[in-house]
Amino acid sequence: MPLDLTADVVTLTAALCDIESVSRAEAAIADAIEEALTPLGHLTVTRIGNTVVARTEQGHDERVVLAGHIDTVPLTDPPNLPTRRLPGGDGEGEVLWGRGTVDMKGGVAVQLRLAATVPAPTRDVTFVFYEGEEIESEFNGLLHVEQQRPDLIEDADFAVLLEPTGAIVEGGCKGTLRIDITTKGAAAHSARPWNGHNAIHDAADVLSRLTAYEPRTVTVDGLEYREALNAVSITGGIAGNVIPDRCTVSVNYRYAPDLTEEDAVAHMHEVFDGLTFAVTDNAGGARPGLDLPAARAFVDALGVNVIAKQGWTDVARFQAMGVPAVNFGPGDPNLAHHDEEHCPVDQLVASEAAMLRWLA
């Protein structure tokens, strides 16, 4: 059934959720979004794979991006679709229940409503509905746009990623770096350990440095980011009667967006001076850019609380393209991917109203 962009935002969210779109199977929902947007004369629509980009071209001095991914994690067993409207608990009011209501088809519905109901926004808008966010980076639709048609995004002054934030603004995001620190020993029989050298015992040096480490709290563009450095796994040993000749401690560094990816690696060399490590993953953070006019106008128009995003999101991809970005959308992020995923109806309505105040 075609999407009805004149329907209210709750009904539209339900319709989007009921089009099953687990990652790598987004063709049906991308088709529906493209079909709904193409007849709108004020938009130029481009499709790249299962990512749909729609742009206004009114010649404003300022352009903003509104983005949201259209894929979800797999359904539960039994399936948490089709959606249902249910009474909420603990004074929550009515909720929309089902896969995607939080992460993040509520935000996508808000985008579609704005695309359809604000033909003459106060600034030019690029709407991005992208595939493959919930899985490996190579499948990410924003990455595909960056690689194939960067001109569709790079001319923007500011971006809003409509990920669930509980309808408050979460500015930018922290970077995430993972390293493996491996200690090496010599294997021997555990009854005669003097014939070998225990690599797991040597890992005590790594763990003591982590225990003593004092993470920074950094203010960036007026928001406070709390860094974190933690061991997230430790592996070593091959049998209960063998002195281990190798031990690997995996460490995750969540760093503030005032550091580059190279800065983060350099800091790990400082912390683990004298030790050798391998970088296994490094994704830079994103500044919120709240000092910029477009960002200030967004925050002022919404009139909601603003905090720092303490995790990592695709706003970092916008940062890599030179576009500062924030997160704002309906739904409690703690319920993302949850068996009982649900979003308060009033958050969907309030999020659309807030965005309308900004664009209309």
Q: pLDDT for 306-332, tens place per residue?
A: 999 988 889 999 988 888 889 999 999
Q: What are phi and psi of 309, to 5 degrees?
A: -80, 115
Q: Which residue among 26, 34, 71, 352 is the active-site one?
A: 71
| Confidence (pTM) | 0.84
Is a pLDDT exceeding 80 seen at residue 155? yes
Confidence of residue 359 (pLDDT cuts 50, 70, 90): very high
Place of tokens 């075609």: 2
Place of tokens 């555990």: 190
**Which CATH number describes the domain made up of 9-173+286-359?**
3.40.630.10
Identify the DSSP state of 321.
T
Is a pLDDT exceeding 80 seen at residue 53? yes
Confidence of residue 287 (pLDDT cuts 50, 70, 90): confident
Q: What is the mean pLDDT of the chain?
A: 95
- 20 labelled catalytic: no
Distances (CA, A) of 220 to 15, 259, 261, 285: 39, 10, 16, 11
Structure tokens at 145: 């746009």
Partners of residue 179 on adjacent β-strands = 251, 279
Q: Which residue has the higher pLDDT, 222 or 91?
A: 222
Domain boundaries, the chain: 9-173+286-359, 175-283
**Torsional sign, CA 230, 270, 279, 217:** positive
Decide: 149 and 88 in contact? Cβ < 8 Å. Answer: no
Q: How far apart are CA 251 and CA 253, in angstroms?
A: 7
Is a pLDDT exceeding 90 seen at residue 293? no
pLDDT number for residue 360: 84
Confidence of residue 203 (pLDDT cuts 50, 70, 90): very high
Whether the domain at 9-173+286-359 and the domain at 175-283 fall into the same CATH topology: no
pLDDT number for residue 125: 97
Which of 246-255, 290-299, 338-347 shows the lowest per-residue confidence on average (mean pLDDT)? 290-299
Is a pLDDT exceeding 90 seen at residue 137? no
Q: Which residue among 26, 34, 133, 163 is the active-site one?
A: 133
pLDDT number for residue 221: 87
- 133 labelled catalytic: yes
pLDDT number for residue 214: 98
Decide: 46 and 109 in contact? Cβ < 8 Å. Answer: no
Rounded (10°) CA dihedral 60, 66, 67, 70: -110
pLDDT per position as a tens digit, 160-192: 999 999 999 999 899 999 999 999 999 999 999
Which of 3-17, 88-102, 105-119, 237-251 shows the lowest per-residue confidence on average (mean pLDDT)? 88-102
pLDDT number for residue 140: 95
Average pLDDT value for residue range 244-269: 97
Confidence of residue 291 (pLDDT cuts 50, 70, 90): confident
Confidence of residue 296 (pLDDT cuts 50, 70, 90): confident
Distances (CA, A) of 126 to 8, 56, 325: 22, 7, 13
Is a pLDDT exceeding 80 seen at residue 90? no
Decide: 125 and 294 in contact? Cβ < 8 Å. Answer: no
Partners of residue 170 on adjacent β-strands = 307, 327
Second-level CATH architecture of 175-283: 2-Layer Sandwich (3.30)
